[in-house]
Structure 1
Amino acid sequence: MSTPARQAREAFGVRLRDIRNDAGLTGRTLAALAGWHFTKISKLEHGVLKASEEDVRTWCRLCDMEDQLPDLLATVRSIDTMFVEWRRQLRSGTKKRQKESVRFEAETTLFRAFEACAVPGLLQTAPYAEQMLRYFTGFHGTPDDIEAGVQARMDRQQILYRGDRRFHMVFCESVLTLGVVGKDVLAGQLDRLLVMSTLPRMRMGIIPTRARHGYLPLHGFWILDTREVLIETISAEIKLTQPGEINLYTKAFDQLAQSAVYGREARGLITQAVTVLNNEPD
């Protein structure tokens, strides 16, 4: 079975092959110029062998593609950590994962987040966070330390009130009504969103369901300054550090953010959701 790291190496190998082909070099010619055994080219291009940073520098220099070097080097450095399967990441419980978030969030000054179907973690109430973590532990069969994990997530939220960090969080209107949590939990979460929307360093945008979307809300993602993008999938957490990838997600975020409403209009959508929820039968 192919591992996520192997898949990442294979994808990287395709990029190397494209660069070689664009340069008009055969594998044997490139190997001769680099002083490598001719089989090394094939192994690198098929992901059998992990490229070193020196390999990449040599490849780009000989193919006259040094403008692509920064992006390629960032990819090489992240291949082993780009895909971290939830089963492996949560094998010791949810608390450790939340503590790791504290570490990399402490290094961030600008948080940009988009969520399509859930409230961003830094804005969640404890009951809402508990339900989210239960989805993960139950689905993946990982250790149940939900209480500790929730407390760690609540501790993370202190960054909303300390320092000079800035937060721009955008989510779809459907987040306000999706039945991923119980009615009482959702009611408390909506109240919290009303409060969070008034924080001085928080810019909260909500994309109305029928708004003209600037880009497709395919999945949620977080952009930490300009150094990293975090994506949560069903099977793994993906960390992207390549400048080209970060630029693409920044473009997607900007277009989604332009579709959102803010301030009084955003709070109006939350209040409307509260009214609908209160009118639902118990």
Structure 2
Amino acid sequence: MTESPSSAVQAARRQLAARLREIRTDAELSATQLASRLGWYPSKVSRIEHATTPPSSSDIRAWCEACGVRREADNLVASAQAADSLYVEWRRVQRSGLLQLQQKRGELYQRTRNFRVYCSNVIPGLLQTPSYATALLRQISRFHKTPDDVDDAVAARMERSRVLFVGNHRFAILVEESVLRYRVGDAEAMAGQLGYLLTLMSLPSVSLGVIPFAAERQIWPLETFNVFDDARVHVELLTAAVKVMAPTEVEQYVTAHRELSAQAVFGAEARDLITAAVHSLA
């Protein structure tokens, strides 16, 4: 069962509260003693530890300082900041259509220098052709019952993809071989999309790897995710987008990308798999 957005947020808050309580007890401080050090009412410490009051960034930093673990603060602050935006329902993001979401991420794509992308279900958005993107976004619009602004959303997605050709960006992109075989759109759209992948592979800024069906798995197929400059991760689920910003969690996705990359083939071997997928359309 998919966890609801509200329960996911509350779970993240409880996890943060439990860690803060653990830090206090490891420092051998009672709640009253910690409150005294911080100049707070003891009830504030209790509310934070029971996840009834979310702590501010300054609260977390002061807490860690008082308990002698300043090094813990950055991770905990990132977790707190991510909690409220941890789970963003697609229905809420897309209520005015698909265009807004494409435009919203444009600035992030412009400022990101190093992209790490893994897709297990569809061709990554950055690599999509207009025909493929149109077929995919029409499916998404129909399923989520959003206003029909697909043509404008596709144009915005193509504009966002210009980062492949301008600026100082690098792209380490991995797809499962199954992605090459799933038909999104008709055979003509798929042939054009696969041919475009072969073209993009010649770009010096793009590393495109394919994980073959026959690869002996060292790490299982995961949900689609995008890592932006090792600073944040977007994970795409059916009902929601998860934004991960805690450094230790981001590092897990970076590690997963590295291990998935070790199972992929590149260059001529990847081209052979893409070409075989093209031939299967006949």
1:120-139 to 2 correspondence within 5 Å?
120-139=124-143
Q: 1:272 to 1:178 in 2, by over 3 A?
A: same
Q: State the match for 2:214 in structure 1.
A: 210
Q: State the match for 1:71 in structure 2.
A: 75
Q: 1:149 to 1:2 in 2, by over 3 A?
A: closer
Q: State the match for 2:188 in structure 1.
A: 184
How far off its partner does 1:180 sit?
Answer: 4.4
2:5–2:88 CA contact under 8 A, matched in 1: no
Is structure 2 residue 59 aligned with structure 1 residue 58?
no
**Unaligned segments of structure 1, at least 5 residues:** none
1:1-282 to 2 correspondence within 5 Å?
3=6, 4-278=8-282
Secondary structure of the structure 2 residue equivalent to 1:239: strand
Secondary structure of the structure 1 residue equivalent to 2:168: coil
Distance 2:198 2:181 in 1: 15
TM-score, structure 2 as length reference: 0.91
Distance 1:202 1:89 in 2: 30
Q: 1:136 to 1:37 in 2, by over 3 A?
A: farther
Q: 1:117 to 1:199 in 2, by over 3 A?
A: same
Distance 1:85 1:14 in 2: 26
How far off its partner does 1:107 sit?
Answer: 0.4
Q: 1:21 to 1:149 in 2, by over 3 A?
A: same
Across the aligned residues of Structure 1 and Structure 2, the Cα RMSD in angstroms comes to 1.9
* Number of equivalenced pairs: 278
How far off its partner does 1:47 sit?
Answer: 2.6
AA aligned to 2:173 is: M
Residues 69-125 of structure 1: CA deviation (Å, up to 9, x unaligned):
111122223333332211111122111111112111110111110111111000011
Secondary structure of the structure 2 residue equivalent to 1:93: coil
AA aligned to 1:124 is: Q
**Unaligned segments of structure 2, at least 5 residues:** none
AA aligned to 1:123 is: L
Distance 1:249 1:50 in 2: 26
Residues 114-141 of structure 1: CA deviation (Å, up to 9, x unaligned):
1111110000111221232223322222
Distance 1:47 1:92 in 2: 33
Distance 2:92 2:224 in 1: 21
